[in-house]
Structure 1
Amino acid sequence: MEKHLLVTVSDEFQTSQSLRFVYNFFNNRQDLRLTLFYVVPRKPDWRLDPIDLETNPEAAVHIEHDKAVHGIPAMAKAQEWLYSMGFAKDQVAVKFSQGKLGTVKEIVKESEEGLYDAAVLGRRGLTWFEEMVADSVSHRIMWESLSFPIWICRNPERGRKNVLVCVDGSDECMRVADHVGFMLRHEPDHAITLLHVCADDRCIDANQVFGRAQAEIKANGVPEDRISTKVLTSANPARSILAEAHEGKYAAVAIGRTSHKPSTLGHIFATTSLKILRGIDRAALWLCK
């Protein structure tokens, strides 16, 4: 089954990280369809949200200038690289956004309307993720509205394989398992490790957690011999997950983000997913809600 990824394009370095991860991770690239997406940055002096281009011709001029000077060349370089690496032209589409809603909301809008299997970002993903919790509007989008997986690529290292899937019994983690199973169903070179981190003072039934997650993965056609399990005991789940990802040289770490709205901004930045995002390197972080 075809997999359709939305790959955000910005500057050359950030874009190259997401493209390199996709190329290095997948062997059956003929099953991939990529849409490259460039959002024209909204300038602070435009002052309209959303921008009404009909009544703000100056903003329209800024948009077209940025698209011509930065967007089109960046997109052309990304396309040229993909073609040079063997992607067919009909596998790669391009799409520009005028940035009316701001970068975050434009990516969210396109990802949800396009029904992509994942949105892929380069190193700027950390800034993008933090922007999503920087104000009350983005806060609500972050915790209530996102319905698509996000892949954030941080200096992906060539040669890394396999996916570390963090499970705790939540519905979000079951959706992560389903997502990983779908993406890896035709990638036999990648194995899947289900990881449960148990706190010192409490531990749920790991076998039950693993059983549900394995069922989700196998339902996508991944054979059981490609799935393993591991339990760690730690009072600092994020640190243990990062250590395991580093030692095992995993290509990606997959984790669910809670649907429960945190009560304070401080609580948001204490979540495991954001700690992993800040600390992960040489790999990608796959986030599902």
Structure 2
Amino acid sequence: MDKKIIIAVDGSAECDRAVDYVGLMEGAMIKDLMVTLFFVMNPVPQFLRREAHKDPESYKRLKELQSRNRQQADAVLGQAKARLMRHGLPEERIETKALPRNADAARDILFEAEQGLYDALVLGRRGLSKAQEFFVGSVTNKIVQHAERVPVWIVGGRVHSLKILCAVDGSEGSLRAVDHMAFMLGGNPECQITLFHVGASLANYCSIDFDAPLDGELEGDIMKSDGECMADFYHRAVKVLEESGIAADQIETRTHENARSVTTAIVNEVKNGDYGTVVVGRRGENRSFFLGHVSDKVVAKCADVAVWVVG
């Protein structure tokens, strides 16, 4: 089955890194990939449009501006397409698309990604200063915070490693992240996946319904033990991955106990394990720690890593 992803490009080095990441993943990890390169053109001022209806000179300036905008879009899209093709993606699997900015860049990109029913939206992350370490840039930040229906991949720097870490908390949100990962990577005999849990107050997060509605007694039994809860979750997650064609020996489960900071534990694991991709759920159960807390910080703190945020 084809996987459709859309990459927002603007000609910047950060977007080039996002394109390179997709090329890396397509070449080694993701089968049957279709890519749309998307560019949001600068808007034409409304006053110029109004004047163009009654003044020939204004009409001429309008056409010139539209032509320059189109030329810029074609140049950026052409360079990104050539970059993907150098990674080995066939030309017939690459589409280019440019539209004038309608609202703002973030809204227009997200609207295109959701209306086009893409499997993922890929963005480059801007470089961050110390004062900005909890933010990921206005466009990317807006998209991550408001993307409810499409997973967002944020690429920070040059990604070289093919190892994948999926941070899980036992929630339905984490299981959706696993499901997205299984769909995108299924059938690949080379990928190596680690399901990683930080065992901080797990009982506050884990209330997943695995096979049937749980009665109070059975749910209470599951909630008694953090270890039992994650054992059940790992069993279900591994089953989802195996059903997608990923073998059991390609999957590792790991739990970090007694961490003082969930974010620090994940970031250290990424660095020490030389991972290139981190997968997180948008939100978990009850007092779960993802979007708005851990995922934003992981995006900000991980260098040369792509973070998949799955809603």
Same fold (TM over 0.5): yes
- The match for 1:136 is none
Cα offset, 1:132, TM superposition: 4.8
Percent identical pairs in the alignment equals 25
Cα offset, 1:250, TM superposition: 1.0
- The match for 2:278 is 253
Letter in 1 for 2:142: E
- The match for 1:229 is 253
Check the 8 A contact 2:9/2:39 in 1, yes or no. Answer: yes
Task: State the number of aligned residues.
Answer: 269
- The match for 1:184 is 185
State the distance in 2 between where 1:198 and 1:82 align.
Answer: 40
Cα offset, 1:173, TM superposition: 0.8
Check the 8 A contact 1:156/1:282 in 2, yes or no. Answer: yes
Query: TM-score, normalising length from structure 1?
Result: 0.82
Q: Secondary structure at the match of 1:250?
A: coil
- The match for 1:130 is 141
Cα offset, 1:156, TM superposition: 2.6
State the distance in 2 between where 1:164 and 1:42 align.
Answer: 40
1:279 to 295, 301, 308: 301
- The match for 1:167 is 168
Q: Which runs of 5+ in 1 are unaligned?
A: 134-138
Q: Which runs of 5+ in 2 are unaligned?
A: 53-57, 128-135, 204-224
Q: Give deviations 1:232-279, integer Å, cap 9, x for gaps.
A: 0212111110110111111100001127899xxxx9985111111111
Cα offset, 1:53, TM superposition: 9.7
In structure 2, do the counterparts of structure 1 residues 41 and 242 end up closer, same or farther at CA, with 3 Å as the change threshold? farther
Q: Secondary structure at the match of 1:129?
A: helix
Check the 8 A contact 1:42/1:102 in 2, yes or no. Answer: no
- The match for 1:107 is 109
Check the 8 A contact 1:154/1:284 in 2, yes or no. Answer: yes
Q: Report which of the two structures shows the higher radius of gyration computed on alpha carbons.
A: 2
The runs of at least 4 consecutive aligned structure 1 residues that moved more than 4 Å come to 51-63, 200-203, 259-262, 267-270
Query: TM-score, normalising length from structure 2?
Result: 0.76
Check the 8 A contact 1:25/1:251 in 2, yes or no. Answer: no
State the distance in 2 between where 1:269 and 1:4 align.
Answer: 24
State the distance in 2 between where 1:78 and 1:238 align.
Answer: 33
State the distance in 2 between where 1:85 and 1:239 align.
Answer: 33
Q: Secondary structure at the match of 2:37?
A: strand
Letter in 1 for 2:3: K
Letter in 1 for 2:150: F
Compute the RMSD of aligned alpha carbons.
3.2
